[in-house]
Amino acid sequence: MPLLGPQGIFKPQLLTDGPLSITTAPGGPYDDAMGPDGLLSYRYRGTDPAHRDNVGLRTAMSERLPLVYFHGLVPGKYLATWPVFVVGDNPGALTFSVAVDDAQHIGLGQAPAAVAANSGPDDLRRRYATAAVKVRLHQRAFRERVLEAYKRQCAFCRFRHEEMLDAAHITPDAHPDGEPVVSNGLALCTLHHAAFDRSFVGLRPNYVLEVRQDLLDETDGPTLAGIQSLHGKKIFLPNDAAQRPDPASLKVRYEMFLKP
């Protein structure tokens, strides 16, 4: 049985009750997001609350059925979250509220009534799990979009093994301006990501690399020589100008690099 279907709310014919999974496609027509209550907000199928897919999600809510949630990162790549539960219905806003839970607490093999209602410690656990998924989703989405923009290679050395590539922030993630957008990111191999984060290597606003002077003066093995060889080189850039590193962010980061 497939887990993911062509529609956002997927109910295989083998199932007689609610759906099996829900999906948010990357760049899709529905603005699914984190709601003000700290839960995931999932848009109705269309605008008719009585559409069979929307009725199916209400069945999942009333029967407390666990679902799989596929979050689209980039075309063809999804972050699967399981189990999630439909815990609220807002016809006026055409949305359902969805909470993530811990698999060991969902009560499989028990009667539906044994699955905890959305209150007390169970509600707190679900909100915590949902918030953790939100963080992971943003991190994964940022990584996939940055790697896609840089054609899955290191911007400094063009290393192409994806399992050793990271999405590095130009303005640090903890900074108020450190938004997880492609223009604030660089696709870097793990070595050069560490060198960039620790200011061994700086990036000028004109996209030219600068190695710290004390490192240029050192004599060591091939790893150091590889870092030294970056000095004065221009990085590999995305084809889309809008995805290239933001010059204003690079200026701030370069000034941080120059500080003793």
Contact 46, 106 (CB under 8 A): no
Residue 32 in domain: yes
Residue 4 in domain: no
Same domain, 137 and 20: yes
The pLDDT score that the predictor gives to residue 212 is: 95
Same domain, 131 and 179: no
Contact 224, 215 (CB under 8 A): yes
Same domain, 14 and 138: yes
Q: How far is the C-alpha of 202 from the C-alpha of 169, rounded, in Å?
A: 13
Q: Domain tally for the chain?
A: 2
Same domain, 96 and 168: no
Same domain, 13 and 139: yes
The pLDDT score that the predictor gives to residue 237 is: 97
Same domain, 118 and 195: no
The pLDDT score that the predictor gives to residue 199 is: 94
Q: How far is the C-alpha of 28 from the C-alpha of 7, rounded, in Å?
A: 11
pLDDT, one tens digit per residue, over 75-84 is 888 888 888 8
Positions of the chain with pLDDT under 50: 108-118, 178
Token pair for residue 121? 């410690």
Same domain, 129 and 179: no
Residue 128 in domain: yes
The pLDDT score that the predictor gives to residue 55 is: 92
Same domain, 110 and 179: no
Q: What is the DSSP annotation of the chain? A: --S--SSSEE--TT-SSS-SEEEE-TT-S---EE-TTSSEEEE-SSS-TTSHHHHHHHHHHHHT--EEEEEEEETTEEEEEEEEEEEEEETTTTEEEEEE--GGGS-TTS-GGGSPPSSHHHHHHHHHHHHHHHHHHHHHHHHHHHHHHTTTS-TTT----GGGEEEEESS-TTSTT---SGGGEEEEEHHHHHHHHTTSEEE-TTSBEEE-HHHHT----HHHHHHHTTTTPBPP--SSGGGSPPHHHHHHHHHHHH--
Domain end marker among 89, 121, 148: 148
For the entire predicted model, the pTM comes to: 0.68
The pLDDT score that the predictor gives to residue 71 is: 85
Same domain, 28 and 112: yes
Same domain, 140 and 158: no
Residue 1 in domain: no
The pLDDT score that the predictor gives to residue 36 is: 63
Between the alpha carbon of residue 87 and those of residues 118, 153, 205, 223, the distances in Å are 7, 41, 48, 53
The phi, psi pair for 163, rounded to 5°, reads: -65, -15
Token pair for residue 162? 């994806």
The pLDDT score that the predictor gives to residue 109 is: 44
Domain encompassing residue 241: 150-258
The pLDDT score that the predictor gives to residue 115 is: 41
Domain end marker among 148, 182, 199: 148
Residue 240 CB neighbour total at 10 angstroms: 10
Contact 199, 210 (CB under 8 A): no
Domain end marker among 114, 148, 182: 148
